[in-house]
């Protein structure tokens, strides 16, 4: 399988502090990679460097072999890179369906198309498909702000996969979600990988969630890669246990 994402010796310094220190890894097409690590390990800084929200101090980010280091998030979005945030990015006064259509518009179309094109930007069919896939039929026309937190997280994930992005980065998708909705979210993420070949990377604190969802785990500690491998091997790695429990 070819690499969708390659990160080469990525480094980010803030004054005398090195938050990300020479990190290298790749994500193969159709892979689900989990990135874990204790608080302060550099996970969020790494994500933000990859996504162009922070300019790295050194190193490179490649998307399908093209160097995209430092490109703005909007430019990456047009190249098929999507993401979620720790804080929900849904529009509370729009329905779930309208949120999906708006998310799809971010991936395609010009300003002229948005001004003079169809009101749904030609995305109604895709929005309906995502509503069905993420099992949001019962709340499709409900204001997003009226949904439960877990339903909003499910909608947020569906929005990230609108328009078939090349790569999705999910930032703490399980955070604050109750167990029943968490099971539904994990089921749908596993299904979109299995059935549609979606490629994505997950930063997560919920170890059970990430270990059962991801095919490979990368562990960060103090800005460096501490361990990498299959979930079972990583979970039982003494260095990982020490990093989480040894402080």
> Residue-wise pLDDT tens for the chain (247 aa)?
579 999 999 999 999 999 999 999 999 999 999 999 988 899 999 999 999 999 999 999 999 999 999 899 989 988 999 998 877 888 999 999 999 998 888 665 444 344 334 455 557 888 999 999 999 999 999 999 999 999 999 999 999 999 789 999 999 998 888 888 899 999 999 999 999 999 999 998 888 899 999 999 999 999 999 999 999 999 899 998 888 766 4
| 8 A C-beta contact, residue 126 and residue 104 | yes
CA dihedral 36, 230, 64, 133 (to 10 degrees): -80
Strands (E), the chain: 3-14, 17-28, 32-36, 58-63, 66-67, 81-83, 167-171, 200-203, 216-221, 224-229
Among 12, 3, 6, 106, smallest CA distance to 53 is for 12
Q: How many CA atoms lie within 13 A of 14 on its CB side?
A: 8
Q: How many CA atoms lie within 13 A of 113 on its CB side?
A: 10
Q: What is the pTM of this model?
A: 0.88
């Amino acid at each position: 399988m070819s690499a969708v994402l390659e990160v080469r010796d990525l480094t980010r310094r803030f004054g005398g502090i090195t938050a990300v220190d020479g990190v290298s890894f790749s994500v193969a097409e159709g892979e689900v990679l989990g990135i874990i690590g204790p608080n302060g390990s550099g996970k969020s800084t790494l994500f933000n460097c990859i996504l162009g929200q922070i300019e790295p101090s050194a190193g490179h980010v490649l998307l399908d072999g093209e160097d995209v280091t430092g490109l703005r998030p909007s430019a990456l979005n047009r190249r098929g890179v999507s993401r979620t945030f720790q804080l929900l990015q849904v529009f509370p006064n729009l329905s779930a369906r309208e949120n999906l259509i708006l998310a799809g518009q971010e991936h395609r179309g010009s300003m002229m198309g948005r001004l003079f094109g169809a009101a749904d930007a030609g995305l109604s069919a895709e929005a309906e498909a995502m509503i069905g896939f993420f099992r949001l039929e019962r709340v499709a026309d409900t204001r997003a702000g009226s949904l439960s937190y877990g339903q909003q997280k499910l909608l947020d994930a569906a929005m990230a996969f609108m328009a078939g992005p090349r790569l999705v980065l999910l930032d703490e998708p399980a955070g604050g979600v109750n167990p029943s909705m968490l099971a539904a979210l994990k089921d749908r993420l596993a299904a979109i990988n299995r059935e549609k070949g979606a490629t994505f990377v997950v930063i997560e604190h919920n170890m059970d969630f990430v270990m059962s969802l991801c095919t490979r785990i990368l562990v960060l500690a103090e800005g460096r890669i501490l361990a990498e491998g299959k979930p079972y091997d990583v979970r039982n790695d003494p260095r990982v246990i020490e990093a989480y429990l040894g402080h």
